[in-house]
């Protein structure tokens, strides 16, 4: 084999500036090309396969296409959730403002890039609602959703969550959410959310509302929402 030939050592100071400019330009050009061609350009360092694997992992509990699942606890639908809401919740879990041991474990290993990828994916999923809620109070639930409860602290839910309960920005989508998840959360709002009194968060908004709703009202509105597509 012919020995490799190296260029002779540079002896002059100016040699430092005679960097291999052409190869560097080529590499830079290639990198930039890749960055702009790749669809994950904005996500910088999460590969599609990593993001897919993480998504499948989330779906183990949150159900196929993240439609939600009746585990030991009701595990909520993530499909169609606004990305801002999802990111806020993941952050809340990690900062223990929202207490869930399992979700803390899930959340604290996620990089920002991964969070971006996941929340985008969830937002774009659109499976049918899981269903199964009792159907006798759907009209009552719709009335509460559209009009609130007169004479109480309960405004129309639609005013923040949207007329079709699809949410927006920091306000979660409620359409198609699990019946027993909604009832559970509304009934136990303070037990899980806003758990860091020195760091109050947007969950405080729901507190007076959750407290003002009676159990039958909670069940009615939860049942109504659970069937919305």
Q: What does the binding site for another protein look like in residue numbers (CB under 8 A)?
A: 53-54, 56-57, 59-61, 64, 69-73, 75, 101-102, 105-106, 108-110
Residue number, 66 or 157, with CB nearest to another protein: 66
Residue number, 132 or 200, with CB nearest to another protein: 132
Q: Report, in Å, the least distance between residue 62 CB and another protein.
A: 10
Cβ atoms of 122 and 59 within 8 Å: the answer is no
Q: Report, in Å, the least distance between residue 77 CB and another protein.
A: 15
Those residues whose C-beta lies under 8 Å from the C-beta of residue 34, and which sit 6 or more positions away, are none
Q: Report, in Å, the least distance between residue 60 CB and another protein.
A: 4
Place of tokens 């100016």: 14
Tokens of 129: 């609602």
Q: Report, in Å, the least distance between residue 6 CB and another protein.
A: 43
Cβ atoms of 129 and 175 within 8 Å: the answer is yes
Among 146, 124, 218, CA closest to 179 = 218
Residue number, 108 or 191, with CB nearest to another protein: 108
Residue number, 85 or 93, with CB nearest to another protein: 93
Q: Report, in Å, the least distance between residue 57 CB and another protein.
A: 4
Segment 166-174 long-range contacts (CB within 8 Å, at least 24 positions apart): 166/80, 167/81, 167/82, 167/85, 168/82, 169/82, 169/84, 169/85, 170/82, 170/84, 170/85, 170/88, 170/202, 171/82, 171/85, 172/81, 172/82, 172/85, 173/80, 173/81, 173/82, 173/85, 174/225, 174/228
Residue number, 40 or 106, with CB nearest to another protein: 106
Residue number, 16 or 109, with CB nearest to another protein: 109
Cβ atoms of 217 and 177 within 8 Å: the answer is no
Q: Report, in Å, the least distance between residue 26 CB and another protein.
A: 36
Chain-centre distance of CA 222, in angstroms? 21
């Amino acid at each position: 084999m012919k020995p490799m030939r190296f260029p002779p050592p540079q002896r002059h100071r100016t040699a430092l500036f005679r960097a291999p400019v052409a190869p560097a330009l080529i590499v830079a050009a290639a990198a930039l090309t890749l960055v702009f061609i790749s669809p994950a350009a904005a996500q910088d360092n999460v590969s599609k396969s990593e993001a897919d694997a993480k998504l499948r992992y989330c779906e183990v509990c949150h159900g196929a296409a993240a439609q939600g699942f009746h585990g030991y606890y009701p595990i909520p639908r993530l499909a169609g959730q606004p990305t801002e809401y999802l990111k806020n919740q993941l952050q809340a879990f990690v900062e223990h403002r929202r207490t869930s041991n399992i979700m803390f474990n899930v959340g604290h290993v996620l990089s920002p890039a991964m969070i971006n990828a996941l929340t985008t994916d969830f937002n774009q999923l659109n499976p049918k609602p899981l269903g199964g809620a009792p159907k006798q109070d759907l009209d009552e639930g719709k009335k509460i959703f559209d009009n609130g409860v007169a004479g109480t602290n309960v405004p129309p839910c639609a005013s923040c969550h949207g007329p079709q309960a699809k949410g927006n920005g920091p306000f979660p989508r409620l359409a198609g959410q699990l019946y027993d998840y909604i009832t559970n959360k509304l009934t136990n709002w303070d037990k899980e959310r806003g758990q860091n009194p020195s760091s109050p968060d947007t969950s405080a908004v729901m507190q007076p509302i959750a407290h003002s709703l009676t159990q039958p009202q909670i069940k009615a509105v939860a049942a109504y929402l659970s069937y919305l597509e």
